[in-house]
Amino acid sequence: MPLLEVKNVDIEYKTANGTLKAVQDISFTLEEGERIGLVGESGCGKTTLAKSFMRLLPSNGEIANGEIIFKGENLVTKSPEEIRKLRWKDIAMISQSAMSALNPVYRVGDQIIEAIQAHSNMNNKQAYSRAVEVFKMVGLEEKRLRSYPHQMSGGMKQRAIIAMALTLEPALIIADEPTTALDVVVQDRILHQIIQLQREINSSMVFITHDISVVSETCNTIIVMYGGKMMEKASTRDFFKNPYHPYSLGLQNAFPSIADIGEELISIPGSPPDLMNPKPGCRFQDRCPFATELCQQEIPSLVEVSPEHFVACHFTEDVEKFRIESKKGETWEKVQERLLLTGTEG
């Protein structure tokens, strides 16, 4: 049995202007010890999906459809009290805004000890020892337990948050851009630490990032999201060797450590689609160099192009041509021109 099964999940936000469909028909499974990277540009629904696993959506957000099965039980239908029990202990989140999760007026150690005691039967001494232990695991000295958050650097605070998230050895870790606020060198070190700890405690992980090069280093499986939908899902190795979706091809161009040295860095022109009034057809049609009339009419369904490799594109047979064309700057310049002509851009 997989640890997590996400089945046909739709998530909506009610707004003054109507309903925004932030996540549409997302399905995947996460096995024990597996690390899945959820990637896509800002606004594609990654955080919304991750928050739904902990039922931490804002009050105007709602899981409108689907099931989220964790250890065989549907999280969607659990009571708030049952969900509270799962948080931290079974499912922990390390997020981009984690640093603000530390209360500025309490010593960091006290906050960790409180978290440990809230979810276990440890006495003060045992909880303190556990806090020292997890601090060591993330490379923080014991004396840092006595620091207030403002006495720590950004990197130290993020390590403290990781320690807090991992202290109860959760089965599922959700890491949402866990290092975005840090400088590149610290980012790299902390990413490796997260993975090492995840391996040690044999957790599974959903890793959220806009940077596919990070996924190539950290995850077994990649899910590419665009406009709230899944565009491609594959093993990381297969994805980087045999990408299919034009959006994935565009993403691979845009990240320096993936593009071969000497190759041009090309970004995808345009901006993400309107999720309030989505057009019929494929979500990526406006920015896709290869879109046809069919793409404007029909939403492509996910097809399995090779074992466990799924792609939502009408033209997967043309992938060889797409791979060649997408490497050329002019291919994307034409998209830019089209966007300007149709007034879809900005």
Nearest to 344 by CA among 287, 293, 303, 302: 287
Cα 283 to Cα 273: distance, rounded to the nearest angstrom: 7
Q: How far is the CB of 309 from ligand ATP (least distance, A)?
A: 23
13 sits near ligand ATP (criterion: CB under 6 A): yes
Nearest to 65 by CA among 52, 84, 80, 46: 52
Stretch that binds ligand ATP, among 57-65, 87-95, 188-196, 310-318 (CB under 6 A): 57-65
# residues contacting ligand ATP (CB under 6 A): 17
Question: Counting Cβ atoms within 10 Å, is residue 18 exposed (0-12), middle (13-18) or buried (19+)?
Answer: exposed
Among 4, 6, 9, 22, binds ligand ATP (CB under 6 A): 22
37 sits near ligand ATP (criterion: CB under 6 A): no
21 sits near ligand ATP (criterion: CB under 6 A): no
60 sits near ligand ATP (criterion: CB under 6 A): yes
Cα 214 to Cα 227: distance, rounded to the nearest angstrom: 21
Stretch that binds ligand ATP, among 38-46, 74-82, 252-260, 318-326 (CB under 6 A): 38-46
Q: How far is the CB of 46 from ligand ATP (least distance, A)?
A: 4
17 Cβ partners below 8 Å, 6+ apart? 276
128 sits near ligand ATP (criterion: CB under 6 A): no
Among 3, 20, 182, 222, binds ligand ATP (CB under 6 A): 20
- Sole residue written with tokens 């049609």: 285
135 touches 142 (CB < 8 A): yes
Stretch that binds ligand ATP, among 54-62, 138-146, 164-172, 188-196 (CB under 6 A): 54-62
Question: Counting Cβ atoms within 10 Å, is residue 323 exposed (0-12), middle (13-18) or buried (19+)?
Answer: middle
Q: At what angle do helices 154-166 and 108-118 cross, to 10 degrees?
A: 20
Stretch that binds ligand ATP, among 27-35, 45-53, 87-95, 242-250 (CB under 6 A): 45-53
Three-state DSSP class for residue 104:
coil
144 vs 245 by CB, closer to ligand ATP: 245
30 touches 76 (CB < 8 A): no
- φ, ψ for residue 245 (rounded to 5)? -70, 140
Site string for ligand ATP, 246-275 (x = CB under 6 A): -----------------------------x
43 sits near ligand ATP (criterion: CB under 6 A): yes
15 sits near ligand ATP (criterion: CB under 6 A): yes
Q: Sheet harboring 73-74: ordered strands across? A: 18-30, 4-15, 61-70, 73-74
Stretch that binds ligand ATP, among 58-66, 141-149, 299-307, 311-319 (CB under 6 A): 58-66
Q: At what angle do helices 154-166 and 124-137 cross, to 10 degrees?
A: 120
Q: How far is the CB of 247 from ligand ATP (least distance, A)?
A: 14
40 touches 226 (CB < 8 A): yes
287 sits near ligand ATP (criterion: CB under 6 A): no
48 vs 221 by CB, closer to ligand ATP: 48
40 vs 178 by CB, closer to ligand ATP: 40
9: tokens are: 């999940």
Interacting positions 195-234 with ligand ATP (CB under 6 A): 210
Complete DSSP assignment for 44-99: SSHHHHHHHHTT---TTEEEEEEEEEETTEEGGGS-HHHHHHHBTTTEEEEETTGG
Nearest to 111 by CA among 92, 131, 94, 129: 131
Stretch that binds ligand ATP, among 37-45, 100-108, 124-132, 198-206 (CB under 6 A): 37-45
Among 24, 47, 248, 285, binds ligand ATP (CB under 6 A): 47
Binding site for ligand ATP (CB under 6 A): 13, 15, 20, 22, 40, 42-48, 58, 60-61, 210, 275
